[in-house]
């Protein structure tokens, strides 16, 4: 079996799908591994490091794709690269099937086995493959670090002979994986942390990390069977707005993480709420790429509204590409091994396996 990966568009994506550690793992299992020239150069991984493991480094992406049985990527390859894929090959990545519906349909029509890892079911057996959790963990951490770097006051309380500096107050909107890591990071750095989420199951997790959970009445039924947040009713949204409006007046830094799979991000922080915030406050919007949780978020721009800075990036993980690649490559290899029939040395698409059935785009 031949497994391959080509370099992503560096302007969009700096993560890689096969690290030297994972290449060694594939080779030990009998895979042949092929990569683009300079595949990990931008992360300080030289081609020689891969070659020492018996990885083939090729100049021509067309040759890499043509000879591969399995292609592993971060996102969907560009149209010219996708057009090279042929029947019975397997493509695995974070393919964003909601936005790339037509492109992926064309691959499925060509009988290319197309797996999108953001569709993984939330079951215990899939945890080692859960790219959303591993990457969101890092995103939550980095959002706090970026916010604190732009905040022009100290974060922890400091008692000095000249007086006391109060601790910064942080609000985390959405207590999923990214939100919980944001709470933990902000708390470790000395902030006073509050959090809100439509899922009441989050309350215990927030409090276990030292955060204060802001409860909105009626939140206990806003969770899907898969553990995701679902869209709130108009009545709930009104109650949430009232709670947020009052809370935001006292908050220094807001980390927004609320997403609904396959839909535009809910606008939670309205313009009038931003206008009531203290000058010098920061909002970091991790939902920016899906429209944002604030009324004013713009991707890859810092917006200043009366002294309140609103930040949101298209890919915050490009600021942590080495750590993110290490975790992503491990998640991906666990998924590949679940697909791989070691005895017969071939891909086994067993639709009775919930992991395979849910991630295969049909």
Active site members: 122, 127, 130, 133, 228
For residues 82 and 102, give the distance between their C-alpha atoms in angstroms, rounded to a whole number.
12
Asked if 199 and 222 count as a contact pair (C-beta separation under 8 A), the reply is yes
What single DSSP character describes residue 154? -
For residues 296 and 27, give the distance between their C-alpha atoms in angstroms, rounded to a whole number.
48
Closest CA to 181 of 145, 151, 155, 156: 145
Residue 127, both tokens: 């945890």
Backbone angles phi, psi at 82, to 5 degrees: -60, -35
For residues 17 and 111, give the distance between their C-alpha atoms in angstroms, rounded to a whole number.
23
Pairing of strands 308-312, 282-285: parallel
User: In angstroms, how far is CA 22 from the centroid of its own chain?
Assistant: 20
Neighbouring C-alpha atoms within 13 Å toward the C-beta of 142: 19
DSSP result, 308-348 = EEEEE-S-GGGGSHHHHHHHHHHHHHHHHHHHEETTTTEE-
Asked if 89 and 34 count as a contact pair (C-beta separation under 8 A), the reply is no
For residues 194 and 174, give the distance between their C-alpha atoms in angstroms, rounded to a whole number.
11
Asked if 330 and 22 count as a contact pair (C-beta separation under 8 A), the reply is yes
Backbone angles phi, psi at 345, to 5 degrees: 55, 55
For residues 94 and 329, give the distance between their C-alpha atoms in angstroms, rounded to a whole number.
12
């Amino acid at each position: 079996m031949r497994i391959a990966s080509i370099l992503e568009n560096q302007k969009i994506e700096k993560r890689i799908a096969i690290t030297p550690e994972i290449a060694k793992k594939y080779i030990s299992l009998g895979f042949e591994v092929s990569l683009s020239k300079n595949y990990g150069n931008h992360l300080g991984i030289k081609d020689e490091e891969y070659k020492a493991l018996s990885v083939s480094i090729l100049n021509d992406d067309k040759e890499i794709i043509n000879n591969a049985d399995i292609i592993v990527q971060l996102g969907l390859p560009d149209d010219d690269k996708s057009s090279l894929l042929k029947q019975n090959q397997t493509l695995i990545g974070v393919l964003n099937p909601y936005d790339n519906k037509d492109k992926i349909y064309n691959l499925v029509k060509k009988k290319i086995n197309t797996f999108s890892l953001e569709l993984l079911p939330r079951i215990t057996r899939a945890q080692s493959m859960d790219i959303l959790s591993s990457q969101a963990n890092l995103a939550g951490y980095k959002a706090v670090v970026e916010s604190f770097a732009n905040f022009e006051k100290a974060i922890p309380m400091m008692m000095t002979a000249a007086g006391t500096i109060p601790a910064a107050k942080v609000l985390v909107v959405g207590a999923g994986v990214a939100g919980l890591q944001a709470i933990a990071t902000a708390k470790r750095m000395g902030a006073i942390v509050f959090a809100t989420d439509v899922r009441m199951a989050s309350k215990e997790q927030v409090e276990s990390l030292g955060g204060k959970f802001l409860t909105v009445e009626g939140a206990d039924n806003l969770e899907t069977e898969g553990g995701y947040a679902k869209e709130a009713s108009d009545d709930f949204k009104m109650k949430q707005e009232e709670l947020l409006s009052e809370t935001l007046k006292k908050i220094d830094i807001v980390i927004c993480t609320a997403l609904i799979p396959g839909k535009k991000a809910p606008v939670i922080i309205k313009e009038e709420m931003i206008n009531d915030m203290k000058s010098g406050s920061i909002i970091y919007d991790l939902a920016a790429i899906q429209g944002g949780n604030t009324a004013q978020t713009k991707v890859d721009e810092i917006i200043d509204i009366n002294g309140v800075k609103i930040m949101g990036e298209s890919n915050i993980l490009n600021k942590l590409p080495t750590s993110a690649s290490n975790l992503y490559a491990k998640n991906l290899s666990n998924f590949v091994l679940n697909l791989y029939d070691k005895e017969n040395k071939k891909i086994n698409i067993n639709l009775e396996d919930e992991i395979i059935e849910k991630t295969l785009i049909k």
